[in-house]
């Protein structure tokens, strides 16, 4: 299909209700009487760094690419509006794979109530997917708003995606852990419910300890985690023990969990627990004076965690 025909087919398939979408030099967002803040985020998935092409179908890859961007909007307490997509495609991804990729995007648009506003497509040596997503929020929740005495909580599961990545790297594409790694569900409704009540929030992409360190630094506080309060169910613990992994460390360093990490005052946390019923909310610790450190306590004693959190650069030697 020629490029013009391809763009025209996308224009018809992805109508844009907020102005001018696909087809001109740029998308146009119609003026409106906006009273809320616009929230923007970009996330890029690169073959060989973030995924292996054979592990996900094109539709799964499209859904995951969109989901990780929407997870960042959820983490701001924002409602998603629309996104742009830039794709670099190796020759073997042209044609049928590309069709299936856009099928996945269409599914994601319906499921998460978001629209494709435009983008770009190029030949490339490796598959690269870059999405810029835009949402709106009356009061975007930052990482920096935490206060001394706030409770620290997680909404969602931890460690499952790390186990799923291990399974995929060992050729196992089925099962609940691989599923958790492949099929990311952005916690959009939960993020919007938490928005007015949380003092600080972020989504967990690089592992609890590492991401919490970022929230602590932004808020100028330390965090204390109670190991016994972490969400550690039997299925995860059993699987960890089979592999000789520590369940506690698996949950602490995780990676690609896309759970929401947030802090809130005691009263706000009680209200949150009545409003957000699913997935589980685990209150895992509290914020204390300090300057960006995270400490984990097990049976009243500090536990030193030596396993490293996920680091795209360190893992793949692409930088420092």
Binding site for Mg ion (CB under 5 A): 72, 203
What secondary structure, in 3-state letters, does the chain show?
Answer: CCHHHHHHHHHHHCCCCCEECCCCCCCEECCCCCCCEEEEEEEEEEECCCECHHHCCHHHHHHHHHHHHHHHHHHCCCEEEEEEEEEEECHHHCCHHHHHHHHHHHHHHHHHCCEEEEEEEEECCCCEEEEEEEEEECCCCCHHHCCCCCEEEEECCCCHHHHHHHHHHCCCCCCHHHHHHHCCCCCHHHHHHHCCCCCEEEECCCCHHHHHHHHHHHHCEEEEEEHHHCCCCHHHHHHHHHHCCCHHHHHHHCCCCCCEEEEECHHHHHHHHHHCCCCCEEEEEEEEECCCCEEEEECCEEECCCCCCCCHHHHHCCCC
Pick 10 or 142: Cβ nearer Mg ion: 142
Tell me how far, at minimum, the Cβ of 117 lies from Mg ion, in Å. 21
Return the half-sphere exposure (C-beta side, CA atoms, 13 A cut-off) of residue 286. Answer: 9
Nearest distance in Å: CB 25, Mg ion: 30
* Residue 201 Cβ vs Mg ion, minimum distance, rounded to whole Å: 10
Measured from the CB of residue 2, what is the shortest distance to Mg ion in angstroms?
38
Residue number, 71 or 109, with CB nearest to Mg ion: 71
CA distance linking residue 182 with residue 63, whole number of Å: 9
The residue among 203 and 222 lying less far from Mg ion, judged by its C-beta, is 203
Nearer to Mg ion, 118 or 186 (CB): 186
Q: Which is nearer to Mg ion, 72 or 222 (CB)?
A: 72
Give the β-pairing of 294-298 and 79-89.
unpaired
Compare residues 203 and 256 and give the one whose CB is closer to Mg ion: 203
Smallest gap from Cβ 106 to Mg ion, in A, equals 25
By C-beta, is 72 or 150 nearer to Mg ion? 72
Least gap, CB of 100 to Mg ion (angstroms) = 27
Tell me how far, at minimum, the Cβ of 258 lies from Mg ion, in Å: 9
Closer of 78 and 168 to Mg ion (Cβ): 78
Q: Which residues is 135 bridged to in the sheet?
A: 39, 80
CB of 204 to Mg ion, least distance (A): 8
């Amino acid at each position: 299909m020629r490029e013009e025909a391809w763009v025209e087919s996308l224009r018809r398939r992805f109508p844009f209700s907020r102005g001018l979408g696909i087809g001109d030099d740029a998308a146009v967002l119609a003026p409106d009487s906006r009273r809320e803040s616009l929230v923007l985020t970009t996330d890029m998935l690169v073959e060989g760094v973030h995924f292996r092409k054979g592990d996900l179908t094109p539709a799964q890859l499209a859904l995951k690419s969109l989901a990780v961007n929407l997870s960042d909007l959820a983490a701001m307490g924002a409602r998603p509006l629309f996104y742009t997509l830039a794709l670099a495609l190796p020759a073997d991804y042209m044609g049928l794979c590309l069709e299936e990729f856009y099928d996945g995007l269409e599914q994601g648009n319906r499921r998460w109530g978001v629209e494709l506003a435009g983008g770009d497509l190029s030949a490339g040596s490796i598959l690269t997917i870059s999405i810029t997503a835009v949402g709106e929020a009356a009061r975007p929740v930052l990482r920096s708003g935490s206060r001394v005495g706030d409770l620290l909580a997680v909404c969602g599961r931890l460690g499952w995606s790390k186990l799923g990545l291990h399974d995929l790297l060992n050729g196992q594409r089925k099962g609940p852990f691989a599923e958790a790694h492949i099929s990311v569900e952005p916690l959009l409704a939960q993020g919007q419910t938490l928005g007015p009540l949380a003092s600080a929030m972020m989504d967990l992409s690089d592992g609890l300890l590492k991401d919490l360190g970022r929230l602590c630094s932004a808020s100028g506080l330390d965090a204390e985690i109670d190991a016994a309060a972490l969400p550690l169910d039997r299925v995860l613990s059993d699987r960890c023990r089979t592999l000789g992994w520590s369940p506690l460390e698996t949950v602490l360093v995780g990676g690609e969990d896309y759970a929401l990490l947030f802090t809130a005052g005691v009263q706000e946390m009680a209200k949150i627990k009545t409003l957000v019923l699913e997935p589980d909310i685990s209150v895992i610790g509290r914020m204390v004076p300090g300057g960006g450190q995270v400490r984990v306590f097990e049976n009243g004693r500090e536990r030193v965690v030596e396993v490293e959190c996920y680091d795209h650069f360190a893992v793949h030697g692409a930088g420092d």
